[in-house]
Amino acid sequence: MTEMTHEETAPTERTVIRRYGWLAKYDKETIYSILDAGLVCHIAYVIDGQPFVTPTNYWRVNDHVYWHGSAASRMLKGQASGIPICFSVTHFDGVVIARAAFNHNINFRSIMAFGNAELLDAEAKRVALKAFSDRVMPGLWEHARQPTEKEWKVTSVLRLPLNEVSAKVRTGPPIDDEEDYALESWAGVIPVNSVLGAVEPDPKLRPEIQMPGFVSKFRL
């Protein structure tokens, strides 16, 4: 795999990051790490002249991102018809406090991808949904009752090739104007992290059913 740096050319004109271009990342390693750290995306599209931005779950397999929903969904039907879409993911990593109000910032990791979604056939859909379940938590798919034929039929899965995609990443301390470093104002970063809470069994769970190991051992 050939990696690109932010100094190299973006995959397409649409993915070039012009504003704060020094934060741009175009290499697959960075882009895939941002995708693999999340489960919720936002997909923008236009149907009959009306713009929509829909939050939904996603997962990545190789050079594609996938999402699913009801086969009757207007969103999925529209996206499956070949309309242009914009797919984005953002992680909020910290509050950056500067000496000058103009320089306050946040640390973040984000990606934006453009393209046209593809509707999966029945066989590919089954493989993709198992991959999604195991992406959420390894072992989850085999633990649960398998989908019925009716459940399979009412679910659609779409995928988007990661051909037009770029990342934008901000890390580190505040960047102030040179003269502002002499000010008495405090400056620094408050990191923001996702942590797991205590497991909460379903109130309707029968008391004799033990928690499976893949749940008790789960880590982000």
Report the C-alpha gap between 91 and 171 in whole angstroms: 12
- Residue 1 predicted with pLDDT over 70: no
| pLDDT, tens digit (0-9, with 9 covering 90-100), for 190-205 | 999 999 999 999 999 9
Residue 41: closest CA among 58, 53, 28, 62: 58
- Residue 146 predicted with pLDDT over 70: yes
The confidence score (pLDDT) of residue 89 equals: 98
| Arithmetic mean of pLDDT over the chain | 92
The confidence score (pLDDT) of residue 3 equals: 39
Indicate the range of 4-13, 102-111, 208-217 predicted with least confidence: 4-13
Which domains can be identified in the chain, with CATH numbers?
Answer: 13-216 (2.30.110.10)
The confidence score (pLDDT) of residue 5 equals: 42
Amino acid, single-letter form, for residue 136: V
pLDDT band at 75 (very low <50, low <70, confident <90, very high): confident
Query: pTM of this prediction?
Result: 0.89
Classify burial at 100, counting beta carbons within 10 Å of its beta carbon; exposed 0-12, middle 13-18, buried 19 or more. middle
The confidence score (pLDDT) of residue 112 equals: 96
Residue given tokens 């991808």 in the structure block? 113
- Assess contact for 60 and 35: CB atoms under 8 A: yes
Mean pLDDT along residues 20-45: 94
The confidence score (pLDDT) of residue 103 equals: 96
pLDDT band at 7 (very low <50, low <70, confident <90, very high): very low
